[in-house]
Structure 1
Amino acid sequence: MGALLAQRARRDARQLLMWVIGTAAMAGLGYVGVVSSFATEQERAALLAAAIANPVILLFRGLPSGADEAAFIVFLIFPWLAILASMMSLFLAVRHTRGDEEEGRAELVSATPAGRTRPVLAAAIHGFFANIALALLTAVAFIAVGLDAMGSLIAGAAAGAVGISFLGVGLMAAQLMRTSRGANAVAVWVMLTTFLLCGVGNAIGTPSDDLTRMESSWLTWLSPFGWGENVRPFSDDLLWPLLLCLALGGALSAAAILLASRRDLGESFVAERLGPASATAALATPTGLAWRLARGGALGWAVGGLLVGILATTLATVVEEIGADNPSVQEMINQIAGAGDIEQATLTTFFTMLGVLAACAGVQVMCRARQEETRGTAEIVLASPVARVHWLAGYLAVGVAVVLIVVGAAFAGAAVGIASQGSSWNAMRDAVVTGSGQAVAASVFVVATALVFTLAPRLTIPLGWSFIALAAVLGLFGPIFGLPEWLVHLSPVGVAPIVSGDGVDVRGLWWLVAAIAIGVLAALSLMRRRELAPSE
Structure 2
Amino acid sequence: MSTLTGTRHLARLILRRDRVLLPLWVLVLAVLPMTYATSFFELFPTAADRAAYATGTATNPSIVALLGPVYGDSVGALTAQRGGFLTLIVGLISLLTVIRHTRTEEEAGRRELLGATVLGRYAGLTAALTVTYAANLLLGLLTAAGLAATGLPAAGSLSYGLSTALVGVVFATVGGLAAQLTETAGGARGIAVGVLGLAFALRLAGDTAERDWPSWLSPLGWAPRIRAYEGERWWVLALPVALTVLLGALAYPLSVRRDLGAGLLPPRLGPAHAGGGLSGPFGLAWRLHRGALLGWSVGFGLLGLILGGAAEAAGRSVEGNAQLEEIMARLGGSSALAEAYLGSTLAFVGLAAAGYGIAAALRMRTEEAAGRAEPLLATGVHRYRWLASHLLFALVGPVVVLAVSGLATGLTYGLSVGDVPGQLPRMLGAGLAQVPAAWVLAGLAVLLYGLLPRFAPVAWGVLVVCVLLGQLGAVLELNQWLLDVSPFTHTPQVLGGSWTATPLLALTALAVLLAVTGLTGFRRRDVPTI
Q: TM-score if structure 1 supplies the norm length?
A: 0.91
1:128 to 114, 130, 133: 133
Match of 2:49 among 26, 43, 46: 43
Identity %: 33
**CA offsets 1:277-303 (integer angstroms, 9 cap, x no match):** 322333222222212100000000111
Matched residues in 2 for 1:5 and 1:503: separation?
54
- Would the alpha carbon gap of residues 305 and 5 (structure 1) be closer, same or farther in structure 2, given more than 3 Å must change? closer
- Residues 1:175 and 2:184 aligned together: no
Q: Does 1:6 align with 2:2?
A: no
Q: Report SS of the residue matched to 2:499.
A: strand
Report the CA distance shift for 1:411/1:234 in structure 2 as closer, same or farther (over 3 A).
Answer: closer
SS of 2:223's equivalent in the other structure is helix
Residue 503, structure 1, aligned to residue 498, structure 2: yes
Deviations 1:259-286 (A, max 9, x none): 0111111111222222233223332222
Question: What are the within-5 Å matches in structure 2 for residues 113-512 of structure 1?
Answer: 113-205=118-210, 217-324=212-319, 330-414=325-409, 416-417=411-412, 420-421=415-416, 422-423=418-419, 425-460=421-456, 462-501=457-496, 503-506=498-501, 508-512=503-507
Residue type of the alignment partner of 2:312? T
Answer whether contact 1:472 1:493 (CA < 8 A) is retained.
no
Q: Which moved more, 1:218-227 or 1:107-116?
A: 107-116
Partner of 1:65: 71
Residues 334, 497 of structure 2: 8 Å contact kept: no
The DSSP-based 3-state class of the residue aligned with 2:309 is: helix
AA at the equivalent of 1:431: M
2:437 aligns to what SS in structure 1? helix
Structure 1 residues 271-280 or 371-380, which shifts more? Answer: 271-280
Match of 2:63, as an amino acid? I
| Unmatched tracts of structure 1, length 5 or more | 207-216
Q: Which runs of 4+ in 1 moved over 6 A?
A: none
**Secondary structure at 1:39 match in 2:** coil
Contact map agreement 1:290 1:395 (CA 8 A) in 2:
yes
> Residues of 1 paired with 2:502 and 2:190: CA distance?
36
- Provide closer, same or farther for how the CA distance between residues 26 and 330 of structure 1 changes in structure 2, counting only shifts above 3 A: same
How far residue 502 of structure 1 moved from its aligned partner, in angstroms, is: 5.4
The counterpart of 1:76, out of the listed 82, 86, 104, is 82
Deviations 1:186-217 (A, max 9, x none): 222322331232233222257xxxxxxxxxx1
- Report the Cα distance in structure 1 between the residues aligned to 2:427 and 2:287, rounded to whole angstroms: 30
The alignment status of 1:519 with 2:529, answered yes or no, reads no
SS in 1 for 2:180: helix
Residue 209 of structure 1 is matched in structure 2 by none
Query: Does the 8 Å contact 1:476/1:494 carry over to 2?
Result: no
Structure 1 stretch displaced more, 43-52 or 232-241:
232-241
Q: For the residues of structure 2 that align with 1:453 and 1:75, how far apart are their CA atoms?
A: 39
The residue number in structure 2 matching 1:211 is none
Contact residue 124 and residue 253 of structure 1 kept, 8 A: no
Q: TM-score, normalised by structure 2?
A: 0.92
**In the alignment, is residue 87 of structure 1 matched against residue 96 of structure 2?**
no
**Structure 2: gaps of 5 or more residues:** 1-6
Residues in 2 aligned to 1:5 and 1:269: alpha-carbon distance in whole angstroms: 25
Task: Report how far residue 500 of structure 1 moved.
Answer: 4.7
Residue range with higher mean Cα deviation, 496-505 or 352-361: 496-505
State how far apart, in whole Å, the 2-side matches of 1:374 and 1:278 are: 26
| 1-structure distance, mates of 2:288, 2:25 | 28
Amino acid across the alignment from 2:88 = I
In the alignment, the residues of structure 2 paired with residue 71 and residue 314 of structure 1 have an alpha-carbon distance, to the nearest angstrom, of 23
Kept in 2, the 8 Å contact 1:30–1:481? The answer is: no
CA distance in 2, matches of 1:300, 1:243: 33
The offset of 1:481, in angstroms, is 3.6
* Larger displacement relative to structure 2 (276-285 or 237-246): 276-285
